[in-house]
Structure 1
């Protein structure tokens, strides 16, 4: 087996310990002899980036998601996205922001340190690569150990991945999701969490992207009014919007009480 790097990552992050969970903006330099392979790449909004994590250990089979918390349970590396693994390949979906001089790619959400060798690039194709119905482990314990800023960043990414942009409606959906997580004390992707969005389609998209609710899994309904309702295990949280700022930054900085009224009720549990 022989791998030849096709380029390098140029990132402002030089140490693995400094890398945010959500990654950073970075530039990929493709070596001149491979530049022809980029023809047509600007037609894609997102790419699959395959890199070699050259500073990662290769003799580890169990690890902890330490970027979240050092006291989370240890798991096998094949059930984690840890850089330490027998063959330290990084496979990640990144957003293409632009192409410069026919061989430099401006990317967002890159979680690779400066100087990381690039092995391959593929176009991300929604119909094939997105499995919206996919399930994974319950992230409740991990969420509890996250800082509020880190958790919000994750919610924003899930909402934007589904909706397409961070607009005011998506920002409101993120704030509702933050409050619901606190109320239910549970990962909102849990099968017991259901959503009945109100009339704003952007807020609805955000809540769907964050929770994974759909009509097919019977977790998505309709509130039938101007309310946004999330339910879980006999508890219902009803959100009614107040005057919402027009700026995303203002929405993310505002106190919850200025954005919406929230009432929590008990409700009978339904059998699925």
Structure 2
């Protein structure tokens, strides 16, 4: 088995310990002999990037998600996104921002350090590569170990991945999701969390992207009217918008009480 690097990552991050969970903006340099393979790549908004994590350990089969917290449970590396693994290949979805001089790709959400070797690039195709119904482990414990900034960054990415852009509606949904997580004390993608969206389509999109709720899994309920309702077994949180600023940054720094009112009440659990 032979692998040949087709390019290099140029990033401002040079140490694995300094890499944010959500990655950074970076540039990929494709070597001249492979530049022809980039023809028409600008037609894609997102790419699948396959790289070789040259500093990662290769003799470890169990690890901890230390980027979040060192006291999380140990798991097998094949159930983690840890860089340590027998063959330290990185497979990540990145946003393509532009192409320069025919062989330099400007990318977002790159979680690879400077000088990482690029092994392959593939177009990301939503119809094939996105499994919206996919489920995973309960992230409640992991979320509780995250800093508020790390958790918000994750919510933003989930919302934008579904909605397509970071707009004011997405920002409001992120603030609502932060409050709901605190109220319910659990991962909002838990199968027992349901959502009744209000009138704003951007907020509704973002809440769907964050929670994974859909009519098919019966977690997306009828419209909440002019309110946004999130429910957990035995508890319901009703959010009513107040004075929403006109910029994303202003929404993300505003006090919750100025953005929305929230009423939490008990609700009868349905019998099966």
With structure 1 as the length reference, what TM-score do the two structures score?
Answer: 0.99
Alignment of 1:182-221 (within 5 A): 182-221=182-221
Give the gaps of 5 or more residues in structure 1: none
Deviation at 1:221, TM superposition (A): 1.1
Alignment of 1:187-266 (within 5 A): 187-266=187-266
State the match for 1:131 in structure 2: 131
Change (3 A) 1:224 1:85: closer
Q: Secondary structure at the match of 1:225?
A: coil
Deviation at 1:233, TM superposition (A): 1.2
Deviations 1:187-206 (A, max 9, x none): 00000000001000000001
Alignment of 1:68-217 (within 5 A): 68-217=68-217
- Tell me if 1:61 matches 2:64: no
State the match for 2:24 in structure 1: 24
Deviation at 1:148, TM superposition (A): 0.2
Q: Secondary structure at the match of 2:119?
A: strand
Q: Secondary structure at the match of 1:49?
A: strand
Deviation at 1:225, TM superposition (A): 1.3
Q: Secondary structure at the match of 2:12?
A: coil
With structure 2 as the length reference, what TM-score do the two structures score?
Answer: 0.99
Q: Distance in 2 between matches of 1:149 and 1:243?
A: 23
Deviation at 1:223, TM superposition (A): 3.2
Give the gaps of 5 or more residues in structure 2: none
Change (3 A) 1:224 1:233: closer
Deviations 1:248-269 (A, max 9, x none): 0000000000000000010011
Question: In the comparison of the two structures, how many residue pairs are matched?
Answer: 272
Q: Secondary structure at the match of 2:180?
A: helix
Change (3 A) 1:140 1:38: same
RMSD between superposed Cα atoms in Å? 0.6
